[in-house]
Every structure is written in structure tokens, then in C-alpha cells.
Amino acid sequence: MNTLKIIDKNLVINYENEADLRQKLVENNLQNVQIGVDFKIGKNAAIFSYFTAGYNFKAGDDFKAGDYFTAGNNFKAGNYFTAGNDFTAGNYFTAGNYFTAGYDFTAGNYFTAGNYFTAGYNFKAGDYFTIEKLIEFPNFYKYIARLYFEKNQNIWMIQLGCYLRTAEEWELNFWNNDDEFPNNGSEKSNKRYAVYILMKKTIEILKEMQLKIENYD
């Protein structure tokens, strides 16, 4: 038996599993439950839309959040954390590998994500995840194609659609969307690959230019 305490409601909910918890939250009119400071949740957990957590919220691996999830400062998530649209995190948010966020994800200062981080449109991060350069390649394929230079880590990042990864990560696994863009020689897949090659070449040219500028100085 597991226990969830809703302090501001003076309520204790005992539940067997996630389905049981979901039903009891609905019975108690707590679909939009808010959790206070130092809340912890284990592996393979899922929460509803409009969930709000206070400071120092910690989640284990495979944590899934619905739309409009909000977490305070020092939120830490394990590997494979998935957030819906309009996720907002405070300062010092840390996510493990394979963190995926939907549209309109906003992070505060000192945001850190592991490998294979992907975000949808309108991703915003505070200080210490700072985009110094942004180059857009419009109308080359179906979705957004953008280059970012993150100056604090001194790395180039490539966004194709909702996938935002470093150039090195793309090189290791470009064909990462078999459902929509399989490696089958189709026109739509070739367009996606062509803009990726163009973006790689652009990075090479910009790096060469930067070296010349530094040597000239």
C-alpha cells in the first residue's frame, strides 16, 4: 500500500497502484493536485495535466507529466522523463538522458539536460543555457530546421522538427524517426537529409570563419 499526503487539504490517500490513485484523486476532486516542497516520486510514475510541484521535487526514471506541468526550483528528473506541452521549470532544473518536452517548454536559469534531449517549438531557457547564434533554414523540408550555438558549452545544436540535438548526436543516429522519415529514399526523407547536410556544412564554414577571426586578432 502506498500513501500520498495532500497537506493543504489535510488529506491522506492510500492507494495500490497508479489506476487506484487516479480514481481516488478524481473522487476527491483533486485532478489539478498541487504538491509542496521536497516531494519525491519513484520510477515509472505518471501525473495528470495541470500538476504543480514545489521546490526540490525529484522524480525517478521514466517519469511522465501531462500538459501544463509546473515545477519549482531544483527539480530533478531521471532518465526518459517526458513532459507534455507548456511545461515550466524553475531554476536549476536537471534532467537525465532522453528527456523529451512538448511545445512551449520553459526552463529557468542553470538548466541541464543529458544526452538526446528533444524539445518542441518555442523552447526557452534562462541563463547558462544561452543561445548566441540562431540560423533558420525555412522551407527546406516539412518542419523547422534551425541551428543554434550555445555559448556556455561552446557547442552547435541542430533542430529538425521537434528534435533538438548536438551535431555529434545527429551524426551517431540521423535516421531517428522511422515512422515519418524512414531511410528509404523517399522524397520527404531525402529533403530532411539534404537540409541536415547543409546545416553540417554551415557549421564547418562558421567554425573556419571563427578560426580566421581569432588568428587575425
The confidence score (pLDDT) of residue 25 equals: 76
Distant-in-sequence, close-in-space partners of 94: CB < 8 Å, separation ≥ 6: 75, 76, 77, 111, 112, 113
> 115 in a domain, yes or no?
yes
Residue of 179 and 62 predicted with greater confidence: 179
Q: Domain end: 113, 129, 145, which one?
A: 129
Reported as a single tens digit per residue, the pLDDT across 161-212 is 878 888 888 998 899 888 899 999 999 999 999 999 999 999 999 988 877 6
Q: Domain end: 129, 163, 178, which one?
A: 129
Position 49, amino acid: S
Count structural domains, the chain: 2
> 107 in a domain, yes or no?
yes
Distant-in-sequence, close-in-space partners of 112: CB < 8 Å, separation ≥ 6: 93, 94, 95, 129
pTM of the model: 0.54
Q: How far apart are CA 99 and CA 120, in angstroms?
A: 12
pLDDT band at 36 (very low <50, low <70, confident <90, very high): low
Q: Quick one: 111 and 159 in the same domain?
A: no
Q: Domain end: 96, 113, 129, which one?
A: 129
Q: Quick one: 77 and 45 in the same domain?
A: yes
Domain that includes residue 94, residue range: 32-129
